């Protein structure tokens, strides 16, 4: 029977030959990921309440990234709880202060195409960039997975997004997904598996594909996914993953609930105005808005490609006086590679302040938090009211190209003026 890549992975995890949209099946989880916010501090009580223990410590990954740079008593306590629980349960796949979970997970060699995974965070579909089916779940569902190693799933309908053509200069994957957010809305793919394909996606780096699958959460998708190819396998092998093959791909005659076509050639840089990613429009409609901060950060927008984009824009120039240009690499590994190749130096010379890796400014924590009535533009995924800081602040979203250009101009700017 013809199936999509998502249906094939679900069927494999459920131990059946095939599945169909709407069918409810129970799947064995290949790996469960949680961070310091969704993890032990919430799970200890819940597991004790049902008298359960972790079904398989070797299939659990714990990554600290939310409270790692806070010095208040609660944050320190959360880190202690996480560290002690991991040691007590024998969880060996533990990454402390190495970066944001959605980036550290593949960097740690934990992903193989075709895996069925769950994560205690809404942006867990990021793993779909590696040909995996990964869903974000809440604390109670995560307790069930930790106790049993299984989860029930209603097989989602699949939407295929074909991105044709080649992206113009100064335009990135972030612009593709922001444009899609505007086109179909925050619930436009509600409980759907969004499969990204087309020549533009094939040409994208893995870093860029991760942006698409990460932000599939912003359109309400159950997950986002890209079929693995040689580029994927090379990336994973470099990370030390035990890769043997490309995993699954959709059958040519697979049935989709919807097919959306996007022409990359006509796409311009996009900016999402407050307070929703769906408020995305071409940058020209937002140019001139004064910004107090330009932030390159988050799992969505601070990977190596993002840092390179920003460096390309600011090289040999200086940040506008009065505008903070803040850069928080998505992981220590990315920071180190960017430092080795001179990308960090280029950003610093332009006036960037480099912060440690972590969620930070994306969730309104640390030095990148927006203050009362401040306006900022960020390469992160969401600009809901109060997410980046004070409720009175105004958060805009853009690609690393656009954020860097805005840092130079002191206002929202078109990166094509600087490329």
Q: What is the mean pLDDT of the chain?
A: 97
* pLDDT at res. 289: 98
Which residue, among 205, 211, 208, 253, has the nearest Cα to 229 in the 3D structure? 205
Given a contact cutoff of 8 angstroms between Cβ atoms, the answer to whether 346 and 235 are in contact is no
Pseudo-torsion of CA 36, 38, 43, 44, nearest 10°?
30
143 pLDDT higher than 90: yes
Given a contact cutoff of 8 angstroms between Cβ atoms, the answer to whether 331 and 104 are in contact is yes
3-state secondary structure at position 292? coil
* pTM exceeding 0.85: yes
Pseudo-torsion of CA 182, 183, 187, 192, nearest 10°?
-130
| Contacts for 266 with CB less than 8 Å, ≥ 6 apart | 165
Q: What are 159's two structure tokens?
A: 């939407």
> What would the mean pLDDT of 386-392 be, rounded to a whole number?
95
**Which residues sit opposite 151 in a β-bridge?**
27
21 pLDDT higher than 90: yes
> What would the mean pLDDT of 64-87 be, rounded to a whole number?
93
263 pLDDT higher than 90: yes
Give the tens place of pLDDT for each residue, 181-237: 999 999 999 999 999 999 999 999 999 999 999 999 999 999 999 999 999 999 999
The structural architecture, per CATH, of the domain 269-417 is 2-Layer Sandwich (3.30)
Which residue, among 129, 134, 100, 133, has the nearest Cα to 299 in the 3D structure? 100
Q: What are 7's two structure tokens?
A: 């249906």
Given a contact cutoff of 8 angstroms between Cβ atoms, the answer to whether 200 and 176 are in contact is yes
| Contacts for 222 with CB less than 8 Å, ≥ 6 apart | 125, 135, 156, 191, 192, 193
* pLDDT at res. 101: 97
Percent of the chain residues topping a pLDDT of 70: 100
| Contacts for 96 with CB less than 8 Å, ≥ 6 apart | 64, 68, 79, 82, 83
358 pLDDT higher than 90: no
Measure the CA–CA gap between 291 and 326, rounded to whole angstroms: 13
The band of 310, judged by pLDDT with boundaries at 50, 70 and 90, is very high
365 pLDDT higher than 90: no
| Domain residue extents for the chain | 5-262, 269-417
Percent of the chain residues topping a pLDDT of 90: 94
> What would the mean pLDDT of 9-13 be, rounded to a whole number?
98
Distances (CA, A) of 325 to 145, 293, 382: 41, 6, 19
* pLDDT at res. 400: 98
Q: Domain 5-262 adopts which CATH fold?
A: Aconitase; domain 3 (3.30.499)
Which residue, among 255, 214, 212, 261, has the nearest Cα to 22 in the 3D structure? 255
């Amino acid at each position: 029977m013809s199936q999509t890549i998502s249906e094939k992975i679900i069927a494999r995890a459920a131990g059946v030959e095939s599945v169909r949209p709407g069918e409810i099946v129970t799947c064995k989880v290949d790996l469960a990921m949680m961070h310091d916010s969704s993890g032990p501090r919430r799970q200890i009580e819940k597991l004790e309440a049902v008298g359960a223990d972790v079904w398989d410590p070797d299939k659990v990954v714990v990554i600290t990234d939310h409270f790692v740079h806070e010095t208040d008593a609660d944050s320190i306590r959360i880190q202690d709880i996480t560290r002690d629980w991991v040691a007590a349960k024998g969880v060996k796949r533990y990454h402390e202060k190495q970066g944001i979970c959605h980036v550290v997970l593949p960097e740690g060699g934990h992903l193989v195409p075709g895996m069925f995974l769950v994560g205690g965070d809404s942006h867990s579909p990021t793993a779909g960039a590696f040909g995996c089916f990964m869903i974000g779940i809440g604390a109670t569902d995560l307790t069930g997975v930790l106790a049993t190693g299984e989860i029930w799933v209603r097989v989602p309908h699949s939407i295929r997004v074909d991105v044709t053509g080649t992206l113009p200069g100064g335009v990135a994957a972030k612009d593709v997904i922001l444009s899609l957010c505007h086109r179909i809305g925050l619930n436009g793919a509600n409980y759907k598996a969004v499969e990204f394909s087309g020549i533009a996606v094939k040409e994208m780096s893995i870093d860029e594909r991760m942006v698409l699958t990460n932000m599939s959460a912003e359109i309400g998708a159950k997950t986002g996914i890209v079929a693995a190819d040689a580029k994927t396998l090379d990336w994973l092998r470099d990370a030390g993953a035990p890769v043997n093959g490309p995993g699954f791909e959709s059958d040519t005659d697979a049935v989709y609930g919807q097919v959306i076509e996007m022409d990359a050639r006509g796409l311009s840089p996009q900016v999402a105005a407050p307070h929703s990613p769906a408020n995305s429009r071409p940058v020209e409609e937002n140019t001139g808005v004064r910004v107090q901060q330009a932030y390159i950060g988050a799992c969505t927008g601070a990977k190596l490609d993002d840092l390179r984009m920003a460096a390309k824009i600011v090289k040999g120039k200086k940040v506008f006086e009065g505008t903070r240009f803040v850069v928080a690499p998505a992981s220590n590994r990315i920071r180190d590679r960017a430092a080795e190749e001179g990308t960090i130096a280029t950003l610093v010379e332009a006036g960037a302040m480099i912060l440690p890796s972590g969620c930070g400014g994306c969730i309104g924590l640390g030095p990148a938090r927006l203050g009362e009535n401040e306006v900022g533009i960020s390469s992160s995924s969401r600009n809901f009211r109060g997410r980046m800081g004070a409720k009175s602040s105004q958060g805009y979203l853009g690609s690393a190209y656009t954020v860097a250009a805005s840092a130079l101009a002191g206002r929202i700017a078109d990166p094509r003026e600087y490329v």
